[in-house]
Chains A and B, each alone.
Chain A
Amino acid sequence: MKRRTVPWDLVLVALVAVAAWFVPEAMKALFGRASISYLSLVINALSLAVLALSWDMLARTGQLSLAHAAFYGLGAYTTALLLKHLAWPIWIGIPLGGVVAVGFAVLLGSLTLRLRAIYFAIATLAFAEVLKSLVHNLPTEFAGGNAGMNVAPLFRPQFVAGQMERWEVAFLRNEAYFYVYAGLLVATVLASIVLQRSRLRHAFIAIRTNEDVAGVMGVRPARVKLLAFAVSSLFVGMLGAVEAHRVGSVLPDQSFAVATTVLALVTPIFGGLYTTLGPIVGAIGLSSVQELLKRSLSEGYLIGYGLVLVLSILFMPRGVVGVIGRALRRRRTNAQRRAIAMAGGGAPDEGASEPGAPPEPPARPGGTA
């Protein structure tokens, strides 16, 4: 007996995807040459959204992964190595980057996902760092060593004299990348929605809230967490591969940078954990804040950026979406209370011992019920 017949979340994704189709041309019409840099900013925000949303998919099971940089780097190196050593079509590296990341995630997950909370986090951080130094030490002729490898761009738009201006070449390149990143984000969002609409959603909540209770409900925590880890690493692996093409190179310190992991976890915390919307809102919000600060403070912008993060975590522990959600929930709860009061079905005998205010969701992975 399903009450909801219209899948509003999917309808919204479809509408946004259709609207996104017109974004590059609209920006070109509005801003002309400046649309190149604006489009770059949008691409950065899309990239951050994929990174954050893919990280959040594992966080929903209460596991804090610090290995996101590793999967990102694995994707990047997969496509770079394929280009260097095999004459395969350039696009194959993107899905394969995702597949390689999944392979490593399954391996790492089967060894570490039984560990809880902080122990898992430490194990994943160690994995990422070990992998980075391993890549550093790979034979130079095979993977470029410390100097990394060049990666061919996915698109090489040509200047056609008389039909376009010079700057339009850069615009065409950014436009093409915009569609790739937007496509990757749509795929990640669809995966997230499928997980949230499936039975797994409550399994995630159960594991995150109390793994023992999840077990007695019949949920197999190890299996569910491994699935979430695999899905999460698939998208970040593909993102790493795409970014390698856009940036034009892979380097151990750049592709396996701890900063990638930090961004992956800070963004959903800012936007709102355990939701599809939160990491996206976080990505848009943080990219905008960063850009505004860069323009207004130039040199010292990172101090301002840090301050914004600290303040938002202090005052919005459940993120932007959490603040909105809490307001909506309060309205719903009040409405329910009014309905119960009108029906005369209160619980006066216990009202004092167990106040009816809904407890907040755990602010961090691993809270209790």
Chain B
Amino acid sequence: MKSSVITFPGSNCDRDMDVALKKFGFKNKMVWHADTELPKSDLVVLPGGFSYGDYLRCGSMASKSKIMQSVINFANSGGMVMGICNGFQILVETGLVPGVLLRNKYLEFICKNVFVKINDKKNKYFKNVDNEVLEFHIAHNEGNYFCTNDQLKEIEDNNQIAINYCDENGKIEDQFNPNGSLKNIAGIFNKEKNVLGMMPHPERMIDTSLSGEDGSLFFKNLINNLK
């Protein structure tokens, strides 16, 4: 399986993503933001970080960078595109996934482990994951998901919510919401479910020595689903 990770100026989880993808069998290529053509890929990843310093609005400048037109075309033709953290912020700025990401409710950067409940498994990202709940890791300042009522209705009607913040037993309640996200949303799909944006970083959980191993589970499953 071939993957591409886009490096924007200010990306800082690009290497971590490269390491994770390779560990689970992807042949990964790093792609520079100023390039115009995507290498042939089965998966394109927009990594975490602070693209363009998060100036103006998180993800907004990166969404206009040269490579993004190819990424958008790739997504529109059914290609798998995953945005993690800042990558999620870039995705909402392109409109590939609905909604916006506001500043965290308590106005503070949060770096910690969280639990997320998988809401939908009829997609290539989560199909065949045995667990209902995964332990993931977040590190962000602007992960407070928000959208209009109309958008929310559409998202729910299409089952576009990918994962929700919850407790270890999968209970989705306000107290387990780390950033104030609407409906505890931690990640969403586009309608076709080939594009996934999520705040948690599975690439930081690929080894028992790190924050946990549920990231391994995610990547192993992902590559199998793509085969």
A and B interact: no
Interface residues of B (CB under 8 A from A): none
Interface residues of A (CB under 8 A from B): none
